[in-house]
Amino acid sequence: MYDHDLVDVAPKNHRFTWNNRKLGKDNIMEWLDRILVNVSLLSSYSNAYAAILPYSTSDHYPKTLVLEAHCPLGPIPFKYSPLRSSIPIVDQIVKFTWIQHIEGSSRYIWENKLKRTKAP
């Protein structure tokens, strides 16, 4: 999952995706089924979420991924992906940005170096 920038979209409405359909103390419910999406998809659809639908004949609940129109929430947090290090220019940009001297508090320096790294 991590090598390919995949994240599991947790469902909004229920916690379990499988039920053995037994009654009482023999009932077992688990979260087995997942919806994996690439991080870049979530940046395009900031209101993406998973939902569990009512089941019928299967012991697994069907899941759906809901992709709502992009709603600008401000800057996207910086997240480093190991896939990026396979591109030579990325290494150069990161090294160049982080060796530059910036005056200010450690938080200010950190935020500005991240911002400069993300700049096009």
Each residue's pLDDT tens digit, 73-111: 566 666 667 776 777 787 788 888 888 888 888 878 888
Please tell me whether residues 9 and 51 are part of one structural domain. Answer: yes
Residue 17's nearest CA partner among 48, 46, 49, 58 is 58
Please tell me whether residues 100 and 58 are part of one structural domain. Answer: no
Please tell me whether residues 17 and 54 are part of one structural domain. Answer: yes
For the cut 70, the answer to whether the pLDDT of residue 71 exceeds it is no
**Global confidence as pTM:** 0.47
Which is more confident, 80 or 18?
18
Give the model's pLDDT for residue 79. Answer: 67
Alpha helices in 8-105 (DSSP H): 39-44, 88-99
How many structural domains is the chain composed of?
A: 2
Q: How far is CA 18 from the centre of its chain?
A: 23
Please tell me whether residues 88 and 57 are part of one structural domain. Answer: no
Provide CB contacts within 8 A for 47, sequence distance 6+: 66, 67, 68, 69, 70, 71
- The residue range of the domain holding 114 is 82-118
Radius of gyration of the chain (CA): 21
Please tell me whether residues 14 and 51 are part of one structural domain. Answer: yes
User: Over the stretch 32-64, which tens digit does the pLDDT of each residue have?
Assistant: 888 888 877 777 776 778 888 887 788 888 888
Please tell me whether residues 50 and 100 are part of one structural domain. Answer: no
Please tell me whether residues 87 and 61 are part of one structural domain. Answer: no
Is residue 80 within 8 A of residue 91, CB to CB? The reply is no
